[in-house]
Amino acid sequence: MGNNWYPVKSMRRLNKAVRVRWGWLEPFEAALIKTKPRRWATLSRNKKTGATEITYLPPERVKGGFLPARTTGEMVPLTARQADAWGPEPDAWQPIGKWPDPLPAPLPTASISSEPRMVSIGKVAFDAAGAAAEMEADREEARQDRERHRRRDGMGWWWSPAEIIYQPLGHVDRRMAEGRVMRCLRRSGPI
């Protein structure tokens, strides 16, 4: 059994939680609720009432392209890639704990090596993991040094997101109005 994944069509046991791989999502727990038509869902316990709550999968596209995040429940935008990745059923399933039925033949898996993977773009080879780490370090440095770069590049105080604050209609002071106009002019480019 171990880390094997199985074809989704071989799943027949109803209401038994299994781990599923579904499109772009990290593997998560779900259960097959119905077989005709096949219907998957996540099951969670309401902390206040103790009742089991069922969320059918794939989830409804709610509020114009937003879905609740699996971990926080906060509504997050659904990208076109994510919408396309939700098929009618998971890609594969994996039992949790001891499985009561005989398991089918597992899906083939690629061998995974712990060696750094080298990738080539054109004729240049590089370590993909090393490149990702370098890019993350550059992003973090930019976050830490944002204000110094803006001041050095001749950008005014108004370019900093922390400096421009929301003020309701009729209460926008001169400094905020100037800042908003300057940001607009700077973004519009040369006239």
Predicted pLDDT at 114: 46
- Encode pLDDT of 73-85 as tens digits: 676 666 665 555 5
Question: In this prediction, what percent of the chain has a pLDDT beyond 90?
Answer: 16
Average per-residue pLDDT in the chain?
Answer: 76
pTM over 0.85: no
pLDDT of residue 24 exceeding 50, the answer is yes
- Encode pLDDT of 27-73 as tens digits: 889 999 988 888 899 888 888 898 888 888 877 654 456 666 656 66
Quickly state the pLDDT bin for 172 (edges 50, 70, 90).
confident
Q: What is the DSSP string of the chain?
A: -TT--EEGGG---TT--EEEE-TTSPPEEEEEEEETTEEEEEEEE-TTT--EEEEEESPP-BTTTEEE-TTT--EEEPPHHHHHH--SS-SEEEE-SS-SS---PPPP-----SSPPEEEETTEEEEHHHHHHHHHHHHHHHHHTHHHHHHHTT--GGGSTTTS----TT---HHHHHHHHHHHHHHH---
Which whole number is the average pLDDT over 107-122?
A: 59
pLDDT of residue 97 exceeding 80, the answer is yes
- Encode pLDDT of 133-168 as tens digits: 777 777 777 766 655 555 555 677 777 777 788 888
Predicted pLDDT at 30: 92
Question: In this prediction, what percent of the chain has a pLDDT beyond 70?
Answer: 64
Predicted pLDDT at 111: 45
